[in-house]
Amino acid sequence: MSTSTLDRPTPTQPDRKPPSHRSAATPLRYLAALAIVAVTVVPLLFVILGGFKTNADINANPAGLPKSWVLSNYTKILRSSSFWHFVVNSLVIAVIATVLAVGLGSMAAFALSRYAFRGREFIYTLFTIGLLFPLTVATLPVYLMLRKFHLLENMLGVAIPEAAFSLPVTIIILRPFMMAIPAELEDAAVMDGSTKLGFFTRILLPLSRPALVTVGVLAFITSWNGYLLPLLVFNEQQNFTLPLGVATFQSQFSQDTAGILAFTALSMIPALVFFIFAERKIVGGLTGSIKG
């Protein structure tokens, strides 16, 4: 029985405890951090450094630093037109898909959030069902439809379906955001002689900017990283997007490992740069849209 008094925490104990635990866990914490950095960064470094090696150097010594730094792998790709074709194609498609998804999505979200009409919830539910139709699953019938519309080998043939499949997420994120904007603002705008559509373009859209950026970033990344739809739609190499181009380059020049690594390294740059600038939006958008 005497031990019970010993075990009972004295008032000072709780104050002392958390810091002591923190310090005990710290080495483990840094070890985990180190492991994460190593596992994440080493493969990326391997690719970037590999691009500076000769093929013989890679075969002899795939893991280490280049014996002599060779720039030709990179310069060859940067001088070739195909790499830039891929980048521009990806960019054009992603921009069209993003503009379509955000433009049409925000219009629909406006109608579904600030008008009362019959069938409103039905239409909204219809869009949310779209979340269960991922593009990967539907690609084959989408391809058949694009063929019917003569949209194969056409950038719109990729951009339009990508926009259509981005609409559900766009509307699901935008609608509650637009709903939360106080009705007083709308009343005031109407009082000042604005039409409802004027309120939408001049007040609601500017106020919705954070949400618009989030859905825009999501739509852009989805399109930029897309592989399957471009694979089916494009046959001509000059139309390829970057993911398709990387994969094709890999299979066409499978002997030229250094070239492949340089090509891959250069292809990573746009995504990584974009990510560094938009990290908070991307992370916020992903965690926010999931929790929403």
Partner 1 sequence: MTSTRTVSQPKASIAQVAGKVPVRPPRRGTSSRTKLELLLLLAPALALFVLFVLAPMVAAIYYSFYHWTGFGPLNDFVGLDNYRKALSDPIFQGAIWHNVLIAVLSLVVQLPLSLGLALLLNGRIHGRALLRTLVFAPYVLSEAITAVLWLSILQPGGAVDKMLAGVGLKGLTHEWLADRGIVLYTLFAVITWKYIGFGIILFLAGLQGVPPELKEAAAIDGATSWQTTRRVVIPLLGPTVRIWAFLSIIGALQLFDLIWIMTLGGPAGSSATMATYLIDRGFRRYQFGYGSAVTVILFTICFVFALLYQRFALRRDTQGAITRRAGA
Q: Which of residues 169-228 bind partner 1 (CB under 8 A)?
A: 171, 176, 179-184, 186-187, 196-197, 221, 224-228
Q: Are 199 and 184 in contact (CB under 8 A)?
A: no
CA 54, 58, 59 angle in degrees (round to 5)?
A: 120
Q: Which tokens in the block code for residue 241?
A: 């997007």
Q: Which tokens in the block code for residue 245?
A: 């181009």
65-73, 79-87, 120-128, 201-209 -> range binding partner 1 (CB under 8 A): 120-128
- Which of 116, 121, 150, 236 contacts partner 1 by CB under 8 A? 116
From the CB of residue 229, how many other CB atoms can be counted at a distance below 10 Å? 25
Question: Does position 239 bind partner 1 by CB under 8 A?
Answer: no
Number of residues that bind partner 1 (CB under 8 A): 110
- Which of 83, 86, 96, 105 contacts partner 1 by CB under 8 A? 105
Residue 175 to residue 110: CA distance in whole angstroms? 7
Which 58-77 residues touch partner 1, going by CB under 8 A?
A: 59, 61-63
* Contacts (Cβ under 8 Å, ≥6 apart) of 204: 110, 114, 178, 181
Residue 244 to residue 17: CA distance in whole angstroms? 55
Residue in the block written with tokens 């965690």: 287
- Which of 2, 79, 81, 115 contacts partner 1 by CB under 8 A? 115
Which 27-56 residues touch partner 1, going by CB under 8 A?
A: 28-30, 32-33, 36-37, 39-41, 43-44, 46-47, 50
Which 72-101 residues touch partner 1, going by CB under 8 A?
A: 100
Residue 100 to residue 286: CA distance in whole angstroms? 20
- Which of 104, 152, 205, 207 contacts partner 1 by CB under 8 A? 104
**Largest pairwise CA distance in the chain:** 88
Which 122-151 residues touch partner 1, going by CB under 8 A?
A: 123, 126-127, 130, 132-134, 136-145
Which 265-284 residues touch partner 1, going by CB under 8 A?
A: 267-268, 271-272, 274-276, 279, 282-283
